[in-house]
């Protein structure tokens, strides 16, 4: 019995509000493990998780449950842990299945579009404590926190349920990267706080693309997640605003630590290389913590940054994204955005 299992077994013996099951997931086993824990429709579980996955021996690239642990119940949709815990209520029932995620999901049922070769290089494990509630999860967490006030995992999940960090109406996280708690609206700003994690927030926003089309926004970047150029996998940490075109490509504008303004490059991540291009708007430490207004001609930027590889430009912009990455160097990003709009002549699409 592990220390974690012993801790919660003792706690639940004293406060019997849930049944406990514990599992260990080796990092090199792809991807799904059936726990044989059968859940009825409407039954709720809380997953608490610890551990890390190192992507390759000696790489220094690693992440915890918030990036690597996913779950599903029966044939239901997959779900992730926004940080290191989640509470989920089964819709149709079935056995709880847990996954170490490496690569990219093909569908919302948990098929991989990428291969499983990368799993063989991974090291580490994630340990999961599953609390199967006998009643209301929040009431159960209240009781457990009262009995174990120093338990950070229980306290964090209770905080998540009582005071959820949610994006603005009409925005949602990119599903195959999972739900996060890094974007939220406050006092007319869309705030970003990203510590050693990654998230992409998206909204549908459409406008025709021609010489008059531009993206306007204001931003105040307080902290950059990298101190070096972001154009390699180990250093690819940044915060940005992006537009998605109807052809599935996106162009993302960001503040670089070291690259010169107007530098363009394709995403260095293999699964994103064919669809994402980066364009540096500002660079260095000067101006951090101050508000700046930006306006970018989208067709001109598309032709210069992307167009040589795609032929005819797309006819429409279909979405706007906010991206925050601090996973690779395990730093943090802090920024605020406001007054985001797509503009074409006299036409203006307010985004935020």
Q: Which residues of the chain have pLDDT under 70?
A: 308-310
- Can you give the pLDDT at residue 308? 66
Buried b (16+ CB within 10 A) or exposed e, 165-194: eebeeebebebbbbbbbbbbeeeebbbbbb
Q: State residue 74's pLDDT score.
A: 96
CA angle 205, 209, 215 (to 5 degrees): 60
How much is the pLDDT for 253?
99
Residue with tokens 């010169």: 260
What's the rounded Cα separation, in Å, for the pair 291 and 182?
A: 20
- Identify the residue whose tokens are 């363009």: 264
pTM for the predicted model, two decimal places? 0.95
Residues sharing a CB contact under 8 Å with residue 186, sequence separation 6 or more, in sequence order? none
C-alpha closest to that of 317 among 292, 294, 340 = 340
pLDDT of amino acid 310: 62
Which pLDDT score is estimated for 312?
87
Which residue, 149, 310, 293, 199, is CA-closest to 245? 310
Q: Which domains does the chain have, with CATH numbers?
A: 3-162 (2.60.120.430), 171-350 (2.60.120)
Number of other residues whose CB lies within 10 A of the CB of residue 120? 9
Tell which residue, 106, 104, 102, 105, has the closest CA to residue 122. 102
Q: Compute the distance between CA of residue 212 and CA of residue 302 in angstroms, rounded to an integer.
A: 13
What pLDDT does 307 receive? 86
């Amino acid at each position: 019995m592990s220390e974690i299992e012993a801790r919660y077994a003792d706690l639940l013996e004293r406060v019997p509000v849930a049944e406990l099951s514990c599992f260990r997931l080796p990092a090199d086993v792809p991807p799904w493990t059936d726990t044989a824990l059968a859940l009825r429709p409407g039954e709720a579980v809380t997953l608490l998780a610890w551990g890390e996955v190192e992507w390759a021996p000696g790489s220094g690239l690693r992440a915890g449950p918030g990036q690597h642990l996913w779950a599903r119940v029966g044939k239901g949709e997959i779900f992730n842990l926004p940080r290191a815990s989640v509470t989920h209520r089964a819709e149709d029932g079935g056995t709880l299945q847990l996954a170490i995620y490496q690569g990219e999901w093909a569908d919302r049922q948990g098929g991989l579009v990428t291969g499983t070769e990368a799993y063989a290089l991974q090291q580490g494990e994630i340990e999961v404590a599953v609390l199967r509630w006998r009643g209301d999860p929040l009431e159960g967490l209240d009781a457990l926190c009262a009995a174990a006030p120093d338990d950070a995992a229980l306290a964090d999940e209770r905080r998540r349920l009582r005071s959820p960090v949610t994006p603005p109406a009409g925005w949602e996280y990119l599903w195959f990267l999972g739900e996060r708690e890094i974007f939220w609206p406050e006092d007319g700003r869309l705030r970003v706080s990203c510590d050693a994690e990654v998230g992409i927030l998206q909204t549908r926003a459409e406008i025709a693309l021609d010489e008059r089309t531009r993206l306007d926004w204001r931003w105040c970047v307080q902290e950059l997640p990298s101190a070096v150029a972001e154009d390699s996998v180990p250093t690819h940490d940044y915060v940005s605003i992006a537009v998605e075109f109807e052809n599935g490509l996106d162009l993302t504008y960001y503040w670089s630590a070291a690259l010169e303004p107007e530098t363009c490059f394709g995403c260095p991540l293999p699964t994103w290389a064919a669809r994402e291009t980066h364009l540096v708007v500002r660079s260095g430490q000067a101006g951090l913590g101050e508000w700046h207004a930006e306006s970018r001609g989208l067709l001109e930027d598309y032709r210069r940054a992307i167009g040589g590889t795609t032929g005819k430009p797309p006819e429409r912009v279909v979405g706007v994204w906010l991206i925050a990455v601090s996973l690779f160097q395990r730093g943090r990003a802090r920024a605020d955005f406001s007054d985001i709009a797509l503009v074409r002549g006299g036409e203006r699409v307010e985004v935020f």
